[in-house]
């Protein structure tokens, strides 16, 4: 595929499910993470301060019946970045995402993709490429049925083992 639509467009074209597999212990830094490191915390009562276009896209998809799930495979003890992700995941949950966490030691026997990805309706996959230090490099799109099916199956195996967000304690 020559042109890769933005996430919002892919999600808008999704009718049933969107799943996201994340496997890095750190991603590129951003101002919200840096503010958290400096001790700033989200005012969860003031939605306007933390609600982003991404959250709106998720909320709209969920409202029209799309199930959105995210599974994170993490090393323990977790990095500061993962500790921050766990903290701010409340925003994802408020938007309607279901989120689960799987310690890397509990995933050792699973055959996993080499990079993070989204699968939309089990028919289309967007793969994310990062540098070693977590900087965004590029994305790819695949609609190859066998490839998408393999990656969707890998996600399901992770999902089955993972702990729901509200039960997972960062260590």
What pLDDT is attached to residue 62?
98
DSSP 165: G
The CATH homologous superfamily for domain 7-40+51-167 is Endonuclease Chain A (3.30.870.10)
Are the C-beta atoms of residues 138 and 129 closer than 8 Å to each other? yes
Q: Which two tokens stand for residue 169?
A: 């304690």
How confident is the prediction along the chain (171 residues), in pLDDT tens digits per residue? Answer: 458 999 999 999 999 999 999 999 999 878 999 999 999 999 999 999 999 999 999 999 999 999 999 999 999 999 999 999 999 999 999 999 999 999 999 999 999 999 999 999 999 999 999 998 889 999 999 999 999 999 999 999 999 999 999 999 999
Q: What is the pTM of this model?
A: 0.96
Domain boundaries, the chain: 7-40+51-167
What pLDDT is attached to residue 134?
87
What pLDDT is attached to residue 133?
86
What pLDDT is attached to residue 3?
84
What pLDDT is attached to residue 2?
54
What pLDDT is attached to residue 29?
78
What pLDDT is attached to residue 1?
46
């Amino acid at each position: 595929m020559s042109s890769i639509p933005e996430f919002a467009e892919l999600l808008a074209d999704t009718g049933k499910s969107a799943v996201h597999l994340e496997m890095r212990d750190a991603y590129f830094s951003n101002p919200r993470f840096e503010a958290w490191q400096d001790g700033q915390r989200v005012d969860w009562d003031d939605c306007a301060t933390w609600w982003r276009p991404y959250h709106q896209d998720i909320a709209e998809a969920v409202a029209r019946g799309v199930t959105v799930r995210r599974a994170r495979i993490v090393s323990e003890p977790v990095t500061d970045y993962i500790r921050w992700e766990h903290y701010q995941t409340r925003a994802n949950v408020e938007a309607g995402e279901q989120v689960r966490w799987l310690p890397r030691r509990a995933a050792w026997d699973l055959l996993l993709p080499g990079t993070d990805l989204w699968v939309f309706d089990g028919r289309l996959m967007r793969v994310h490429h990062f540098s070693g230090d977590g900087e965004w490099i590029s994305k790819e799109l695949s609609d190859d049925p066998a490839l998408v099916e393999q990656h969707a199956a890998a996600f399901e195996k992770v999902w089955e083992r993972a702990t729901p967000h509200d039960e997972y304690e960062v260590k």
